[in-house]
Structure 1
Amino acid sequence: MEQFINLVRIQINLKGLFSYGNTLILCISGGQDSNLLYLIFTVLKYQYNLPLVLVYCNHYWQKDSVLNQQNLTRLVYLNKHPIIFCTPFFLVKQGEFNAAFWRYTSLQRICFFVNADLVLTGHTSTDVVESFLFYLIRGSQSRLITQFQNITLNEYSKLYFFTVKKTTLRKLIDSRLNIIINTSANLLKVIKPIQNLTRYEVYHLINFFYFPIWVDQTNFSMRYARNRIRYQLLPLIRFYFNPKTDINVHRFLNTLFDDITFLDYLTLKLKDLNNITKQTNFFSYTFAFFFSCPYIFQKRLLVEGFNQIKVRQFNYKNLELILKFLYIQFYKPELRKKPIILIINKKIKVVVNYSVFYFYSL
């Protein structure tokens, strides 16, 4: 156990996951991953002087979750740690996205109430591989690769306090808002300290200490895509293609993250140097500059511009439509003799005026 604690301590010091005296929220579910995280930080909190607050989110999807709540109460009572039990005031629909949206918005509110700086989660390296395959199959953009790092910054549009009506919050859940990319600067910093440990190592550590755990039955239900990846897809890949799939995926993700970080840096430099306007409600480029850039930077410049004007609920189809429209305007300059206005998805307005094009948020 001491070796694993030292491994986590090395990761904390090398990557600067948190500072001395930070107030931390530790998400605990009663499972083996979060329980091991709790054991490790029960030791580390004295070395880093960390005020630790535990949070358990109960979806009330299972009857025995109440028994798990009682078990966690005994655990924190013995160790004299504060714990917050978060329960929904409406029925959370069963589904990975709905549950994650409710948990992260609840954590954001709790961080505000207890003045916490960081949120700790018990994600392991096996979870990283499963998440990568999940996002890859879903066709997510490469920016989501940053979620696999030890530190993740999640943004939210607003804080949902008790003034929000139940019907309004249900509409927000049903509209499937993106909990990772949204429209404000309300940041929730999530840290994954045991991400270098595999689920196999965590299992044997918990068994060695005879630590009581609660098994979530939804982890075995094949109605969830993540469980199908865990129990069907990954075993097939490991058996028939490569038994070292997990190691290779981690190596690929580290390389890809470095490449994405470098491309993001170049994109921001190009945007700052060539964006004609410095306003927050619109941005503009000249046709000469925009089409002198490679195709990959054209898309990235548009995405960064949309982030600037806080328009982030657009998809790949909208991006391709905008690029096609700009290509037509560039190669047929006679069309630009008069100003042209294009409205896309009732949220983005494109104005072409001679050699310059502008983007506005509606």
Structure 2
Amino acid sequence: MLLFLLIALTVVGLLTLWLHRRLVVAPGWATPWRYAGSLALVLLTALAVVTAAGGLRWGTAEDTRPVAAVALSWLVVALYLSLILASTQIGAVVLWLVTPREDRAPRLRRFNRATAPVAVIAALGATAYGAVAAADPTVTRTTHTSGALPAAFDGTTVALVTDLHAGVVHGPDFARKVVDRVNAAKPDLIVLSGDVVDAPFERHRAEIAPLADLEAPLGVVAVTGNHEMYTGSTAEWLAEWDRLGITVLSNTSQVVTRGADSIRVAGVHDREGTGDFAPDPARALDGTSDAFTLYVAHQPAMAEVSSDRGVDLQLSGHTHGGQVWPFGLLVPLQQPMVEGFAVVDGVPVITSRGAGTWGPPVRIAAAPEIPLITLKRG
């Protein structure tokens, strides 16, 4: 972990120095503008690092939430600044090659003065667009057909709520918005497939209080995600879910009945879990082979260790659909799918882009969603 932090800080430091060079030094701004640009880069980067490390602890969570949102959003601004300025630097190199030596310095300065503001405006615009998009999770509808589905469950709807990431950035207002939209869809069953929370229990317990109002005739179930494991409060969070009326599937399954027919809903801990919270697919799926089985696992990769166990449909999240372009291109390095529907090692899997965000409250080319899945017999 220490090595990872050192590498991350080194990368952030080098990136900040490069941005300083391209935005402040290369354009040759007047001295007051240089000081202002340098100070802004240092303060924003330092605040983002402190926030990401969990260092915003004054006052209440509501006091620090706006600061955390701005600080973490800066990471997206810096990403797009880097991508845009990297492309403009290619143009600067071309300009340098085709310009007589005595004219290079003034021409490059004029070029950098023209492109730096454009890069800032474009990066800020893209991030603002992504912040607006991230605040509006919508219900998306899809259908899954299976011959194993009992007749009584034909037409059953399942709301898949994943990656809420309640905590530092997402407060109870965001959870309330998600709850209201889920309830308005009138699902028969609600599944929370992990990363419901993203912060220590003692400071952020209130963020998920609205989940107590989730309504579904067949119940509300949940499994852990990797961020429940990172909070240091896994047991406390699971106890709170139970208090809110959410059935926690801890490597277990439950029978759901309609009339004379029944299905199984099984859930497994995230693969980042250890000890009492280590994933155990064999235990979770024990005794489910004789019934249609919905399998809830935070990461779609869990299908790779759960094949040939009678899973009829796995429901997952974790990927965020990449959340911010171009990170969706990197998801396949860790997961067998990015979003939507796929068959993974013989297991049908639906993976949601998730309702919330991790880190920056920004989504670009990966809109937040709450899938409503209609189960059909066929």
Calculate the TM-score normalised by the size of structure 2: 0.25
Hey, which of these two has a bigger chunk of helix by percent? Answer: 1
Calculate the TM-score normalised by the size of structure 1: 0.26
Q: Higher relative contact order at CA 8 Å, sep ≥6: structure 1 or structure 2?
A: 2
